[in-house]
Amino acid sequence: NAGVTQTPKFQVLKTGQSMTLQCAQDMNHEYMSWYRQDPGMGLRLIHYSVGAGITDQGEVPNGYNVSRSTTEDFPLRLLSAAPSQTSVYFCASTPGREETQYFGPGTRLLVL
């Protein structure tokens, strides 16, 4: 198993540009989540999904969209990037309610 994979590893955007951060897992996990990590603030939940076709907002959802058309993929879309979205983004998955979350390696995003 490759586990949780994220692409790209690094990205530089200009303000107003759009992009999609990809996340995939090959463990057949139902739950998937997106977090952002900022210095001094730990990780904060952006959006999550409890299964294909079901998504919900986390703590900091503004400026981001998600969809979950398959169990394996959970892309995160930035519709109009802002400098405040400069961060490291982590995708995670877990098989069930009490199970460990498995994190991807992260995507480092810089918005100029």
Nearest distance from residue 41's CB to other proteins, in Å? 6
Judged by CB under 8 A, the chain residues 52 through 111 that form the site for other proteins are 56, 58-59, 90, 92, 94, 96-98, 100-101, 103-106
48 in contact with other proteins (CB under 8 A): yes
Judged by DSSP in three states, 33 sits in: strand
41 in contact with other proteins (CB under 8 A): yes
Judged by DSSP in three states, 30 sits in: coil
Query: In the structure encoding, which two tokens stand for residue 47, read together?
Result: 């959006």
Q: Which of 111, 109, 79 is nearest to 91 (CA)?
A: 109
CA dist., res. 77 & res. 19, Å (int): 6
* Cα dihedral across residues 45, 92, 110, 87: positive or negative: positive
Nearer to other proteins, 16 or 51 (CB): 51
Query: Which residue ranges make up the site for other proteins (CB under 8 A)?
Result: 31, 33, 35, 40-45, 48, 50, 56, 58-59, 90, 92, 94, 96-98, 100-101, 103-106
